Structure 1
Amino acid sequence: MEIFETIRKDHEKQRLLMKILVQTSGDSEARREHFEELKDELKAHAAAEERHFYKKLMGSDRTLEQSRHGIHEHHEIDELIETLEETDMSSSAWLHYMKQLQEKVLHHLEEEEQQVFQQAGHVLSAKQKEDLAEDFEDEKQEQLH
């Protein structure tokens, strides 16, 4: 498997978790569990992506700016997660912030899949794409445990 497929698989899980979360209401067990899973998933994904995808892409002028932008968006996502953690889950503000997070994450995923992957495809060799997928997956599992 190549790095692009590995990242896309994570993106699908993130999309699903966010879709579920915006349909929940109140301070429910389901909302808490799905939010914890989403937080863990986003954190582990971002760490693995920054160490084993963006770091490699920063070595090329062609993908340097996109890599910096992606990392910046990870920080914006972290800030929204912090806001959600500080907001009462039963308030309408929580759902408002959750929808903001969903919008930010979906924007980030689209940019990666539509723009970054295309440029990265020109910069990375076939072997690098496979090695990065393995390194990404190992890092992500380490982050989750």
Structure 2
Amino acid sequence: MSQSAAIANPALVNLAQDIFAALIEKHDYQRQLCAALETESDFAQRQAIFQRLKLELRAHEAAEERHLYVPVMQHDEGLDLSRHAITEHHEVDELLEIMEDDGASEEKWESTCVTLIEKVRHHLDEEENKFFKQARTILDDELQQRLGTLYQAEHDAFAKAHADD
């Protein structure tokens, strides 16, 4: 079985998850897709995995920025934290655009893929080890629960609406 077939998008999660549990679940899925991109040898399969990763990253970014970064930015101690994370999302988006370019050579696609995987892993680790710790002190428990539900609903709606892009 190819890597592409072996990784199934996680089913709808429990909508009662707080924002951090919901995000970590999606981060784990993104890490699985990155690992599959590294280990799959067939270029066509790698491109299919990339399409899944691209959709996941875009759905994740849209929902995360609205339902975590914006609420955290409303507090002075969260401004720089959120700005940095948004900058990293933008850097990932630029790499995705390069990989989507039909005129890009396979060599350019491959080298950009390596950079993308490194950037995604760095961002996820930094978020989980720094951003989340600070954000937990900024956002109260009730808001964390509500944001988790909002994040998951928006993520799933975005992914569904853009599945054929």
TM-score, scaled relative to structure 2: 0.82
**1:2 corresponds to 2:18:** yes
Identity between Structure 1 and Structure 2 (%): 40
Task: Report 1:80-119 matches (<5 A).
Answer: 80-86=95-101, 91-119=106-134
1:91: Cα distance to partner? 2.0
Q: Which runs of 5+ in 2 are unaligned?
A: 1-16, 161-165
Do the aligned partners of 2:19 and 2:144 also contact (CA within 8 Å) in 1? yes
Aligned pair count? 144
CA–CA distance in structure 2, aligned partners of residues 10 and 34 of structure 1: 16
Q: Which runs of 5+ in 1 are unaligned?
A: none
Per the alignment, residue 61 of structure 1 pairs with: 76
CA–CA distance in structure 2, aligned partners of residues 8 and 87 of structure 1: 32
Per the alignment, residue 60 of structure 2 pairs with: 45
Per the alignment, residue 11 of structure 1 pairs with: 27
CA–CA distance in structure 1, aligned partners of residues 150 and 141 of structure 2: 14
1:25: Cα distance to partner? 3.5
CA–CA distance in structure 2, aligned partners of residues 26 and 90 of structure 1: 16
Do the aligned partners of 1:83 and 1:97 also contact (CA within 8 Å) in 2? yes
Match of 1:25 among 10, 18, 41: 41
Do the aligned partners of 1:88 and 1:94 also contact (CA within 8 Å) in 2? no
Per the alignment, residue 129 of structure 1 pairs with: 144
Give the superposed CA RMSD: 1.5
Per the alignment, residue 140 of structure 1 pairs with: 155
1:26: Cα distance to partner? 4.9
Do the aligned partners of 1:87 and 1:93 also contact (CA within 8 Å) in 2? no
